[in-house]
Amino acid sequence: MNQLGSLAQFASFTQNLSLENIKNELSSFQSKLASIRPPQEFFNVKNFSNPKTFSEVQARVSYNLRYYSTNYTIIIGLLSIYTLVTNLLLLFVIIFSVAGVTGISKLEGQDLNTPFGPLKTTQLYTALLCVSVPLGFLASPISTLMWLIGASIVTVFGHAALLEKPIETVFEEETV
């Protein structure tokens, strides 16, 4: 029964890696990139104002999150890069762990022959874990993640709440 479950998981995994599914994901990504709003429109300071009521804040946030979703995703991506550049130890731990796992997997289950004797892949993974975990705790990934979440929320919702909706949408709402 266990083999049947693992076979079903493998079949699901290979379906996700099919050429057609990859093409669909790529076209979805390209359509997302096509919906990027120009910076002149996104950063137009003349359209910034304080909302009068909370319902106006809700209307602005709802509209702007839909209209500028790709721009906001790019902003969050840039903030993520900024957090990694400012927390170099975390960046080092991530690169070290990925490079270690990649290097060990390239051995394809064979022992690593060193002048001190052969090392099994399980020993290499254990050593990588023993080095990566303490360094990972020192890099404070949780506080970095909390900062990223907070900065993203303040930036995105602040922009969405302060940017007025285009005048055309106000007229569309009144005619309905």
Q: What pLDDT does 176 receive?
A: 52
Query: Which helix or strand (DSSP H or E) is residue 113 part of?
Result: strand 112-114
Residues 118 and 81 reside in one and the same domain: yes
Alpha-carbon gap, residue 53 to 175, rounded angstroms: 22
Taking a C-beta distance cutoff of 8 angstroms, is the pair 37, 70 a contact? yes
Average pLDDT over the chain, rounded to whole?
Answer: 86
Largest Cα–Cα distance of the chain, in whole Å?
Answer: 81
171: pLDDT strictly greater than 80: no
Q: What pLDDT does 50 receive?
A: 93
Rounded to an integer, the average pLDDT of 98-115 is: 89
Confidence band for 170, pLDDT divided at 50, 70 and 90: low
Q: What pLDDT does 156 receive?
A: 96
pLDDT digits (tens, 9 = 90+) for 121-165: 999 999 999 999 999 999 999 999 999 999 999 999 999 999 998
Residues 72 and 13 reside in one and the same domain: no
25: pLDDT strictly greater than 60: yes
How many percent of the chain have pLDDT more than 70? 86
Residues 67 and 9 reside in one and the same domain: no
97 compared with 36, residue with greater pLDDT? 97
Residues 139 and 162 reside in one and the same domain: yes
> Which range marks the domain in which residue 17 is found?
1-34
Q: What pLDDT does 4 receive?
A: 55
Alpha-carbon gap, residue 129 to 71, rounded angstroms: 37
Residues 13 and 41 reside in one and the same domain: no
